[in-house]
Amino acid sequence: MCLAVTALLMQMVLDMTRAPTRQWDYDLKLEAATKAERAFAAVRQYRGLEGATLDLVNDPAGTGLIGPEISPITNATGDLEAKLTSLNPNFAAVLVQYFRQAGLEPGDPVAVAVSGSFPGLNISLFAAMETMELRPVVITSVGASNWGANSPDFTWLDMESLFFDQGIFHTRSLAATFGGGNDMGRGLSPTGRKLLHESITRNDVPFIEPKNIEDAIAQRMTFYESSSRGRPYSLYINVGGGVASVGSSHNRTLLKPGLNFDLGAHNWPRKGTLILFSEKGVPVVHLLRMITLARENGLPVAPDFQPQPGEGEIFVRDMYRWPLAAAFLVIYCLACVLILAPELRRGLFDRLSRKRVPVALLAFLLAGIVWGHSPALAADQWLQVKAVQEGTPVCLQSQGQEFSYLLLDPAKPMEFKVNGPRKIKLISRYLAGPGDPQRQAFTMTVNLDGSELLRKTFHATSNAGMVVCDNGGSGVSSLRRVYLEIPKGSHTIQVLGQSPGSGDVACRLFKQSKRKTSGTIPFAPEGYLELATLQFESGNQSTYYRFEEASPLVFSVSGPTTLQLYTRLDFDLGMLGSQKYTIEVWRDSEIWRTFHYDVTRLSNAFYPDQPDLLPGTRKKLRITVPAGPHNFEVRCVRPESCGISAQIRIPRKDLQGRP
């Protein structure tokens, strides 16, 4: 007891004597943040002088760096909180810290991939690189997600020109792409792609125009190599989730934000430039998940003000006084020896090991069970769904917290849009009217695409802890909750609340943030002859890889896992009836299996790039991958002209790979 009290007192003294301490490279970090703030100010001034409309609701600090939600060049869904978090010049200090940890020196070449999705983060990056006097080779994806640099008249390339003309930055993009799907602007309208091309042209930036995603990655790697002037790159920096850089949208869950010296062993569905550089031993900085990066470095999340240079734990942090801590440690260790030595000599530990180990083991197992079933850990993540049409909101308050509900019209249902498959949660309350009893019944009806999915009557009593915000009165019932499963696809959900009383029914609808996803995803090979895009009459497209005897399908994967290999034989226009083909699967330079197939032409699909070829029906085989890393080759045996295309899929759960 004496030792425990002493330890607590020492810890209390250490906490009370913590003092603000400047972090390493304080002056360098402050210089970079100040340079970034100059660029932020230039945008604010330019947008003001140009008469741009600033949305002070979504851009409360008036930075001018929050674009519209939707525009012709918007290519992906963006999170407003992440965008607001990135509008902090002190991220330049975070990047300086990454550069110093990576051992960069002035003049070191770095490969950079940025997009228009995070203009504020791009500014911080340019400021950090110029402060460190690095030599960057920058490729920009001009398109942007929601709330980014997605104004057609003020893209990221336009911002670069503004900074260059005002002498703030000397760094400019050396090449540009459309970005978006396949790095080709897929998903944008022709007007959107035209606007992107106009931005690239007016800023006089060379345009990289890939034919497909594999070509986009190859062209980027070739450009980086040709621009390095024979010197190896010291770092690769990626801003955003550009598919040519990360390789595949599925890779985003495997990539850790921040500085990475080793990305680890994964079964990458496709290797983008970031992964290819890492495999060459080049450290990489991956800048995504902005809220996580902000919290790790003591920066505010989605502030409604413009942070000033020098603010945050990246500059100054409360630190313990190490001399005092060391002295306390020595004193405490001496006290332990003086007090516990006699017990130790009498075999205290031996007695404890004989009598207490089973109890300790039981406690450990019990703690593991509690941890595994902890409600806080097992709780699902939910996102509130907004109604399609404007509803009547009502504010409810409980214990100082305010919650926004929607009042339901008993004659007209409230509509919501939800994409499945996923689970939704509907919570409802009854707001009592004059003359209503203490316990009141109300009925909730949920329709899915016009068909009734749920009809349930609740009996709710008044909850004294919940009141209406504007009048503070009571009469709000306890919460009633129901969960529903939504199938795959886009659906319209109608919610109707009715009650025989004189009050109103209010509700909130939530969707599970993590969808149920398919079990397998595409896995790109490392060697093949050419890429083939298969177009179906439904409008869907699928990517296949052609191979032949001299150019087999080559890929590496870590097991244990089971791959699915889909193959098709290409038919000439004059070929009729069924055709036979044979392939061999080699594993680690030895034949694993030989497969023989008999197929016919597929009537509802074609190759847009090669109209003289028609696809055959699909054949599926499973490739068993034992534990450890393995190399595979799929070879064509017959026909002699080969003409076989393939697609590989890997279970999503096996992306992490095995050591």
Neighbours of 572 (CB within 10 A): 12
Q: Are 623 and 567 in contact (CB under 8 A)?
A: no
Model pLDDT, residue 354: 53
Tokens of 18: 């913590």
Helix (H) or strand (E) holding 42, with range, is helix 26-49
What is the sign of the dihedral through the CA atoms of 82, 291, 313 and 29?
negative
Closest CA to 406 of 477, 509, 476, 511: 509
Pairing of strands 613-615, 553-572: antiparallel
Q: What is the pLDDT of residue 87?
A: 95
Q: 514-531: b or e for each residue (b if 16 or more CB lie within 10 Å)?
A: eeeeeebbebbbeebbbb
The rounded distance, in Å, linking the Cα atoms of 286 and 297 is 15
Amino acid identity at 155: T
Residue with tokens 């929607």: 406
> Which residue has 């070929």 as its token pair?
575
**Residue 496 per-residue DSSP state:** E
- The answer to whether the beta carbons of residues 59 and 219 sit under 8 Å apart is no
Tokens for 409?
Answer: 């019209």
Query: Whole-angstrom Cα distance, residue 525 to residue 642?
Result: 18
Residue whose entry in the numeric block shows the structure tokens 């009598």:
355
Sign for the CA dihedral angle at 162, 125, 135, 154 comes to: negative
- The number of angstroms, rounded, from the C-alpha of 463 to the middle of its chain's C-alpha atoms is 40
Q: Helices (H), strands (E): how many in the chain?
A: 15, 29
| Alpha carbon distance 594, 355 (integer Å) | 62
Q: 15 is written with which tokens? A: 């906490």
Q: Which residues of the chain have pLDDT under 70?
A: 342-381, 399-400, 471-474, 514-518, 538-539, 657-659
CA distances from 484 to 304, 424, 446, 454, 489 (A): 36, 5, 10, 9, 15
Distance in angstroms (rounded) separating the CA atoms of residues 310 and 298: 12
Distance between CA atoms of residues 649 and 659, nearest Å: 20
Query: How many CA atoms are closer than 13 Å to the CA of 452, on its beta-carbon side?
Result: 6
Half-sphere exposure of 413 (CA within 13 A, CB side): 17
Supply 3's token pair. 């030792």
Helix (H, G, I), strand (E, B) or coil at 330: helix
| 8 A C-beta contact, residue 291 and residue 301 | yes
Cα dihedral 350, 352, 353, 358 in deg (nearest 10)? 160
What does the DSSP assignment read for 565-604?
EEEEEEEETT--S-EEEEEEEEETTEEEEEEEEEE-B-TT
Whether the bond between 560 and the residue before it is cis, its omega within 30 degrees of 0, is yes
- What's the CA gap between 221 and 137, in Å, rounded? 11
- Give Cα separations from 125 to 15, 89, 357, 419 (angstroms): 35, 9, 54, 36
